[in-house]
Amino acid sequence: MYEGVVQDLIDELGRLPGIGPKGAQRIAFHLLAADPVDVRRLAEVLLQVKEKMRFCEVCGNVAEEERCRICRDTRRDPSVLCVVEEPKDVVAIERTREFRGRYHVLGGAISPIEGIGPDDLRVRELMERLADGAVQEVILATDPNLEGEATATYLARMLSPLGLRVTRLASGLPVGGDLEYADEVTLGRAFEGRRLLDA
Amino acid sequence: MYIAHLSLTDFRNYAGVELPLEPGVTVFVGQNGQGKTNLVEAVGYLATLGSHRVPNDGPLVRSGATRSIVRGDVVRDGRHALIEIEITPGRSNRARLNRAPVSRTRDVLGVLRTVLFAPEDLALVKGDPDTRRRFLDELLVARTPRLAGVRQDYERVLRQRNTLLKTAAQASAGALRTLDAWDAHLARLGGELLAARLATVEVLQPLVAKAYAHVSPAQEEARIDYRSGVELGDATTAAALADKLTDALAERRSDELRRGVSLVGPHRDDLLLSLGEFPAKGYASHGESWSMALAVRLAAYDLLCGDGGEPVLILDDVFAELDSARRSRLATLVAGAEQVLVTAAVPEDVPPQLTGVRHVVAEGEVRRVG
Ligand SMILES: Nc1ncnc2c1ncn2[C@@H]1O[C@H](COP(=O)(O)OP(=O)(O)OP(=O)(O)O)[C@@H](O)[C@H]1O
Ligand SMILES: [Mg+2]
Ligand SMILES: [Zn+2]
């Protein structure tokens, strides 16, 4: 145990995903030794991210306003909807410049082991978005791993009575990985070669 | 293929060992508990990413250390490949191939192939079905490394599905509807696994009969057959087998929900080993059981030789278990292999056909003596 607030900092950092006790200690001592200006800037963005950012009411992506930049952009094609697990997948797909439609962020994938079922994802919101018939194609771009595939299978079956075009990204993505790890060219090709799912 | 060099850091009782190896026969002798099996266990780990003795990696790390490193220089058709694996229990292992990190550890599977004979093999005949399934699945992966991913995903589907079934009573209607999605993937992956298993057993069958006849002449014929809990009919392709699994899943759905566990799929299957008209388990004598276990391993060796890349043969302490006739027949069968690694506590147990390099193993040190 360290004296005073240093231990509090280590404890707080240790609570963050991907940071173990050793990493938390290293970051804490790095901050202790760092230039006060840098530390102040870090503290400010930490506060701002909570004050200014929220999740888009329509698609679930991170947004500075009620609706995110993509949902506000009238040039985006409202007839194609790309369903992804996380906001970082939106960033990865945007990088390819292959896709001009809109997104729907689920907030994860189905995984009973982690206690995540469809009610914990933004599935109901997805169904509501599709109700008005404006969307003609839904691209299921969940991760190319088991949980992502199972989520895609589940959604494809939910969507099949709606009579939409339901597609899945072409294989060729690194299997078992995250969408965000695929390079732009591979991901772009996966979009072009997407195939129709028959649920 | 052969291993030209084995290097261990904090593996079992070895703090550090650098061991140059040669093609042909190498015998490790030494008293009980000195580290002979630990050496060949490390070689097997490079090939299968698992120990033949323990189901998880904890016991492999030297007590007091936090991780082990196993390195092997594998020579195949004159080309060298360096496999390095860092074993950290409780975390995923890291691997490098020719000094470049691989994205998934299982990408090194297939570089080194081994067939390991060990006292534990008796369990192939007398033990539980999971021992036989593991034998078969390791053989599939050695033949087709891609199947390691199918096997892993299948295990993961099972865990996900079992968790869902277990909580079915409290689960929401929405969560229960996902069961269909898991079923689809269980059937898809299970169909692929089944197709590979059936194809492998089919080519293994005559080889087992042949090997048993060599090890134990003038006895009944040995057979190996696949026993599935699901009626497979004459389906052999992954797609047709997946359809069979889908039907069976639909049929057993209410049973599964009631019992909270997956009752359908290749994880419930078994290999039936028989001698003449009787199953070996429960009928064969101790010596016959040993011959059967040897025959199954020899058949695996034969199979791997046949489809590209003769595996390294490892005989851990097996001669001590055999009578002198079986000993010398086994020795004759394996003497011509490209590389054979033999361990024995009693040097006299090693048949004279197996001459070659000799090392003495004592207290985690290896010393060449001939
Ligand atoms: N994780 C570990 N750390 C340190 N020592 C270990 C570890 N695991 C096993 N050992 C030691 O290694 C020894 C066993 O080595 P091994 O099984 O290779 O023996 P062996 O030479 O094959 O003996 P036998 O002739 O009885 O088969 C034991 O003394 C055991 O205590
Ligand atoms: Mg031993
Ligand atoms: Zn939005």
Tens digit of each residue's pLDDT (9 = 90 or more) over B298-311: 999 999 998 878 99
Neighbours of B31 (CB within 10 A): 12
Q: Among all chains, which residue has been given the structure tokens 């963050």?
A: A16
B26-30, B303-307, B316-320 — most confident range: B26-30
B177 touches chain A (CB under 8 A): yes
Nearest partner of A105 among A94, A93, A120, A89, judged by Cα: A89
For the record, the structure tokens of A123 come out as: 């599935």
Domains observed in chain B: 121-308 (1.20.1050.90)
pLDDT (0 to 100) of residue A21: 86
Q: How far apart are CA B48 and CA B97, in angstroms?
A: 15
Given a cut of 60, whether residue A53 has pLDDT beyond it is: yes
pLDDT band at A62 (very low <50, low <70, confident <90, very high): very high
What are the two backbone dihedrals, phi and then psi, of residue A125, each rounded to the nearest 5 degrees?
A: -60, -35
pLDDT band at A189 (very low <50, low <70, confident <90, very high): confident
Q: How far apart are CA B114 and CA B50, in angstroms?
A: 12
pLDDT band at A34 (very low <50, low <70, confident <90, very high): very high
Better-predicted residue by pLDDT, B367 or A195: B367
Tell me the shortest Cα–Cα distance from A179 to chain B, in angstroms: 15
pLDDT (0 to 100) of residue A3: 85
Across the interface, whether the CB atoms of A150 and B178 are under 8 A apart is answered yes
A180-184, B63-67, B90-94, B306-310 — most confident range: B63-67
Mean pLDDT computed over B145-150: 92
pLDDT band at B217 (very low <50, low <70, confident <90, very high): confident
Mean pLDDT computed over B321-340: 89
pLDDT (0 to 100) of residue A148: 95
Given a cut of 70, whether residue A102 has pLDDT beyond it is: yes
Mean pLDDT computed over B97-101: 94
* Secondary structure of residue B82 in the 3-state scheme: strand
A168 touches chain B (CB under 8 A): no
Better-predicted residue by pLDDT, B168 or B189: B189
Given a cut of 90, whether residue B177 has pLDDT beyond it is: no
Q: How far apart are CA A194 and CA A96, in angstroms?
A: 15
CA of B231: how far to CAs of A113, B235, B245, B269, in Å?
A: 30, 10, 9, 11
Query: Across the strands, what pairs with A95?
Result: none
Given a cut of 90, whether residue B206 has pLDDT beyond it is: yes
pLDDT (0 to 100) of residue A176: 58
pLDDT (0 to 100) of residue A175: 58
pLDDT (0 to 100) of residue A191: 84
Mean pLDDT computed over A155-184: 81
* Secondary structure of residue A55 in the 3-state scheme: strand
Chain B contact probe: residue of A22, A113, A116, A127 with most B CBs at under 10 A: A113
Residues of A in contact with B181 (CB under 8 A): 110, 150-151, 153-154, 157
Per the prediction, chain B carries an average pLDDT of: 93
**Distance separating the N- and C-terminal Cα atoms of chain B:** 23
Residues 6 or more apart whose Cβ sits within 8 Å of residue B184: A150, A153, B246
B126 touches chain A (CB under 8 A): no
What are the two backbone dihedrals, phi and then psi, of residue B131, each rounded to the nearest 5 degrees?
A: -65, -45
pLDDT (0 to 100) of residue B8: 98
Query: Across the strands, what pairs with A83?
Result: A104, A140
The one-letter amino acid at B220: E
Nearest to B185 among A150, A175, A176 (CB): A150
Tell me the shortest Cα–Cα distance from B96 to chain A, in angstroms: 18
Residues of A in contact with B105 (CB under 8 A): none
CA of A65 to the centre of ligand 3 (A): 10
* Secondary structure of residue A82 in the 3-state scheme: strand
Atom of ligand 1 at shortest range from CA of B28: 21
Given a cut of 80, whether residue A171 has pLDDT beyond it is: no
* Secondary structure of residue A3 in the 3-state scheme: coil
Mean pLDDT computed over B128-134: 96
Strand ranges of the sheet holding B100-101, from the earlier edge strand across to the other edge: B14-20, B2-11, B68-76, B79-87, B94-97, B100-101
Mean pLDDT computed over B312-317: 96
Residue B54 exposed, middle or buried by CB count within 10 Å (0-12, 13-18, 19+): exposed
pLDDT band at A4 (very low <50, low <70, confident <90, very high): confident
What's the pTM value of the predicted model, to 2 decimals? 0.87
Percent of residues, chain B, with pLDDT higher than 90 = 81
pLDDT band at A177 (very low <50, low <70, confident <90, very high): low
Neighbours of B157 (CB within 10 A): 26
Given a cut of 60, whether residue A199 has pLDDT beyond it is: no
pLDDT (0 to 100) of residue A174: 60
Q: How far apart are CA B155 and CA B143, in angstroms?
A: 20
Instruction: Say if CB B354 and CB B331 are below 8 A apart.
Output: yes
Strands (E), B317-364: 339-344, 357-362
pLDDT (0 to 100) of residue B323: 86
Q: For B62, which DSSP code?
A: P
Tell me the shortest Cα–Cα distance from B54 to chain A, in angstroms: 25
Instruction: Say if CB B11 and CB B38 are below 8 A apart.
Output: yes
* Secondary structure of residue A40 in the 3-state scheme: helix
pLDDT (0 to 100) of residue B53: 93
pLDDT (0 to 100) of residue B117: 94
Mean pLDDT computed over B205-213: 95
pLDDT (0 to 100) of residue B255: 92
Q: How far apart are CA B123 and CA B53, in angstroms?
A: 11
Mean pLDDT computed over A97-108: 95
Nearest partner of A110 among A121, A94, A96, A124, judged by Cα: A121
Residues of A in contact with B182 (CB under 8 A): 150
pLDDT (0 to 100) of residue A50: 86
Across the interface, whether the CB atoms of B174 and A110 are under 8 A apart is answered no
What are the two backbone dihedrals, phi and then psi, of residue B97, each rounded to the nearest 5 degrees?
A: -125, 120
* Secondary structure of residue B279 in the 3-state scheme: strand
- Tell me the pairing of strands A195-196 and A165-168: antiparallel
Which range among A7-21, A71-85, B23-37 shows the weakest confidence by mean pLDDT? Answer: A7-21
Mean pLDDT computed over B116-132: 95
